[in-house]
Amino acid sequence: MTTTPNVEPTLIDVVQKLDKLSENVEHLRQDVEHLQQDVEHLQKDVENLSGDVKRFDERFADYRQATQWVVQLAFTLIASATITVIITSVLK
């Protein structure tokens, strides 16, 4: 009958595992810092894009208003020309 010896970790084993855990924690901390920096950059990008969209909306509204004025002017000119033609035809 063979028996397996009960091997308990030594203090050196525990220290090595703690060192390894410390390294892992340090790597995780660095990863979190990098992610925080990335999030900050993304927030700045979103703020910049929001400003761009706001300026675009303002310009689009201006163009829309200008287009409406041009259409109104065109209809006014057409109506004026039509009335002028009718009046000159009737008065001759």
Residue 1 lies in a domain: no
Residue 7 lies in a domain: no
Both tokens of 1, joined, read: 């009958």
Please report the pLDDT score of residue 31 as a whole number: 97
Confidence of residue 1 (pLDDT cuts 50, 70, 90): low
| Domain housing 83 | 12-92
**Four-point Cα dihedral 48, 54, 56, 57, nearest 10:** 160
Residue 61 lies in a domain: yes
DSSP secondary structure, 27-55, as one string: HHHHHHHHHHHHHHHHHHHHHHHHHHHHH
Name the pTM for this structure.
0.54
Please report the pLDDT score of residue 5 as a whole number: 67
Residue 16 lies in a domain: yes
Distance of CA 9 to the CA centre of its chain: 53
Residue where the block lists tokens 């208003």: 65
Residue 2 lies in a domain: no
**pLDDT tens-digit series, residues 17-71:** 999 999 999 999 999 999 999 999 999 999 999 999 999 999 999 999 999 999 9
Domain count, the chain: 1
Please report the pLDDT score of residue 21 as a whole number: 97
